[in-house]
Amino acid sequence: MPLLNMRLARPKVLVDINKISGLDYISETNEGNISIGALTRQRLIEKSTLVKDNLPVLSTALGSVGHVQIRNRGTIGGSISHADPAAEISALCLALEAEFVLKSLSSERIVNSESFFLGQLTTALEPEELLTEIRLPSLSDGWRWGFQEVCRRRGDFALVGCVALIRLDDNGMCQDARISMFGAGDTPVRMREAETRISGSPVDSPALDDVARLVSEKLDPVSDIHASGAYRKQVGGAIARRSLEAATNQGKGA
């Protein structure tokens, strides 16, 4: 619908996939990971106890996707396939290192989230393929999370946002970090340099200052009527810092 509304697509034929049965589910695998059918409504995922218990960052961040009416209709697969670079769900998938199951009549393949998002509204989906399932590794094993975004009004697409995951040892040293930014480039993007800087380090002011600087330097956002690229770069660094602080101080993964 967004593509039609923006007149970016004028298809001769429109196929309604709403009634394909069996693509609307949230389940837990034997390994404790979460599988979500592509036609599952965003609101169902937000409210799911299974998701709240295993991936609280996903439940929390979904609360920032548009408004309740949008999430009642919008599907997880529709958001991922649409690939709006400001979409929260795509950035979450990148941070969680999700895998996507893509099916056609003749084949099935699994694509990881980092290889899936190719550009603005552009993905690795071939014309004859359907995204059928999203596979999300559970956030057990000591992961903590932080989620921050800046938008003009609640429910708007983010001007820039961040999903941060961090794993600390008993002494508060960062063992592992993932920082996924959205709204500040053609696709959601992992901040590898910043992740490397904080990994193996205490999460203190010098490290967080470096993360903010590295994220700002790395982002390459466009200017549009909502915000300038320079604003997005600066705010992106600041909210990456805040997300990591939030992850360190509050959010426990599971």
Ligand X SMILES: Cc1cc2nc3c(=O)[nH]c(=O)nc-3n(C[C@H](O)[C@H](O)[C@H](O)COP(=O)(O)OP(=O)(O)OC[C@H]3O[C@@H](n4cnc5c(N)ncnc54)[C@H](O)[C@@H]3O)c2cc1C
- Residue 90, classed as helix, strand or coil, is helix
Nearer to ligand X, 8 or 30 (CB): 8
Edge to edge, what strands does the sheet with 26-28 contain? 26-28, 34-37, 130-136, 99-103, 108-112
* Separation CA 69–CA 80 (nearest Å): 18
Nearer to ligand X, 5 or 30 (CB): 5
118 near ligand X, rule: CB under 6 A = no
Q: Which residues are bridge partners to 101 per DSSP?
A: 110, 133
How large is the greatest C-alpha to C-alpha distance in the chain, in angstroms? 60
125 binds ligand X (CB under 6 A): yes
Segment 84-113, which members bind ligand X (CB under 6 A)?
A: 87-89
Choices 64-72, 159-167, 209-217, 246-254 (CB under 6 A): range interacting with ligand X: 64-72
Residues near 197 by Cβ (< 8 Å), separated by ≥ 6?
207, 210, 211, 214
Q: Does 78 bind ligand X (CB under 6 A)?
A: yes
Three-state secondary structure call for residue 155: coil
Out of 46, 157, 232, 233, the residue judged to bind ligand X by CB under 6 A: 157
Q: Can you tell me which of 74, 85, 161, 183 binds ligand X, judged by CB under 6 A?
A: 74
Of the two residues 42 and 216, which places its CB atom closer to ligand X in the complex?
Answer: 42
Query: Hey, how many other C-beta atoms are within 10 angstroms of the C-beta on 111?
Result: 17
Residue in 75, 138, 187, 248 binding ligand X, rule: CB under 6 A: 75
- Apex CA 10: angle with CA 127 and CA 69, to 5°? 90
In the complex, what is the shortest distance from the CB of residue 164 to ligand X, in angstroms, rounded to a whole number? 18
Residues that bind ligand X (CB under 6 A): 1-3, 38, 42, 65-66, 70, 73-75, 77-79, 81-82, 87-89, 125, 130-131, 157
